[in-house]
Amino acid sequence: MIDILVYGFLIFIICSFIGYFIEVFWIYLGTKKIVNRGFLCGPVIPVYGFGALLILVCLLRYYNDPVVVFVFGMIITSALEYFTSFILEKIFHNKWWDYTDRPYNLNGRICLKNSFAFGVLALVIVYLAMPMLGFFFSLFSHKFWVIVAIITFVLFVLDVVYSTIVAYNLRNRIIIVEELKNEKLAMIPIIFEKKLKESIEGFKTFPNRLLEAFPDLEKPYHNSFEIMKKYRDQLKDIKKDIKKNKKKNNNKKKKNKNKKK
């Protein structure tokens, strides 16, 4: 049981890591920019790891039938992507990705192009990645992989906690913008900006990375988020000035005390 957990988690992390670089490379081909893709801060995209585990659990028994692996690999991973999109939308009140502009999409959550690519990845996982991982794990002792799994698991959990806090911060911003848009007075630009400023004074971070990784999140709220970001920067400058003034005042007091002595 412990072996299953250890090696299952390591396969999950490795495939999440490979999935991250596939996403980064794919985005780079279209935009010529390197974007830190994914929900987490670290170089992993868990949906790829979960997808790989599902493929291995469900389809490894059909090793001698690549057609079954390809077709059901498409179905399993597409269902996972659809479910992930649905859950994220329910939690954060917005779509994290949108394929409505692509042909043969289903509610903008999945599309045929991606599903076909996932089917190919299923073949790669079963016929190429799994034998390579088996050889890779045989290079070091079981104890070594247990230690690696524990360290990686701790780092992964810390990343999940931090990234969830940042994402929840983003969720609150979206809710604030939606609520203000529903208020008649808030539709007046000056009042809308003032209310936005008042609403974000308690926010500690601005989720820039998430907005870069998932540009579809920002599209409906771009102007509002720009106002929030601008005001947060102003608040930071004000806090820095206050700290500088405090230091100057403290230094003056010390100098005056030394003169009196």
d(CA 148, CA 12): 13
* Percent of the chain predicted with pLDDT > 70: 64
Q: How far apart are CA 225 and CA 207, in angstroms?
A: 10
Q: Which of 136, 162, 188 is the last residue of a domain?
A: 162
65: left (phi over 0), alpha (psi -120 to 50) or beta: beta
For the chain, the domain total comes to 2
> Phi and psi of 33, rounded to 5°?
-125, 145
Stretch 115-126: mean pLDDT: 95
Same domain, 66 and 18: yes
Is it the case that residue 213 has pLDDT exceeding 70?
Answer: no
Instruction: State the pLDDT at residue 167.
Output: 77
Instruction: Give the per-residue pLDDT at 186.
Output: 46
Does 248 score more than 80 pLDDT? no
Q: Is the pLDDT of residue 18 over 90?
A: yes
CB 45 within 8 A of CB 23: yes
42 and 65 together in one domain? yes
Q: What residues make up the domain containing 95?
A: 2-162
Q: What is the pLDDT of residue 56?
A: 94
Tell me, yes or no, whether 250 and 151 share the same domain. Answer: no
Q: Which of 108, 130, 162 is the last residue of a domain?
A: 162
HSE-CB for 88 with a 13 A CA cutoff: 21
- Mark which of 162, 186, 220 sits at the end of a domain: 162
Q: For 236-247, b where at least 16 C-beta lie within 10 A, e where not — what string?
A: eeeeeeeeeeee
* Domain presence at residue 170: no
254 versus 182: the higher-pLDDT residue is: 254
- pLDDT (average), residues 16-39: 84
Same domain, 14 and 47: yes
Report whether pLDDT(259) > 90.
no
Q: What are phi and psi of 40, to 5 degrees?
A: -90, 165
Q: Give me the mean pLDDT over the 80-84 stretch.
A: 94
Predicted pLDDT of residue 166: 78
Statement: residue 232 has pLDDT above 60 = no
Residue 70: per-residue pLDDT: 97
Closest CA to 198 of 235, 166, 226, 167: 235
97 contacts: CB under 8 Å, gap ≥ 6: 85, 109, 214, 216
pLDDT number for residue 164: 83
Pair (157, 183) in one structural domain: no
Name 112's Cβ contacts closer than 8 Å, sequence gap at least 6. Answer: 102, 103, 104, 105
Say whether pLDDT at 59 is over 90.
yes
| Same domain as 131, residue 24 | yes
**Same-domain check for residues 95 and 192:** no
**Is residue 235 scored above 60 in pLDDT?**
no
Q: What is the mean pLDDT of residues 35-62?
A: 90
The whole-number average pLDDT for the span 206-225 is 57
Q: Does residue 169 sit within a domain?
A: no
Q: Are the beta carbons of 93 and 176 closer than 8 angstroms?
A: no
Given a cut of 90, whether residue 66 has pLDDT beyond it is yes
Is residue 155 located within the same domain as residue 193? Answer: no
User: SS3 of 212, please?
Assistant: helix
Region 230-239: what's the mean pLDDT? Answer: 53
| 122 is a domain residue | yes
The confidence score (pLDDT) of residue 181 equals 56
Instruction: Specify if 101 maps to a domain.
Output: yes
pLDDT digits (tens, 9 = 90+) for 144-203: 999 999 999 999 999 999 888 877 777 666 666 665 555 544 444 555 555 555 555 444
Q: Residue 2: pLDDT band by 50, 70, 90 thresholds?
A: confident
Judgement on whether residues 92 and 187 belong to the same structural domain of the protein: no
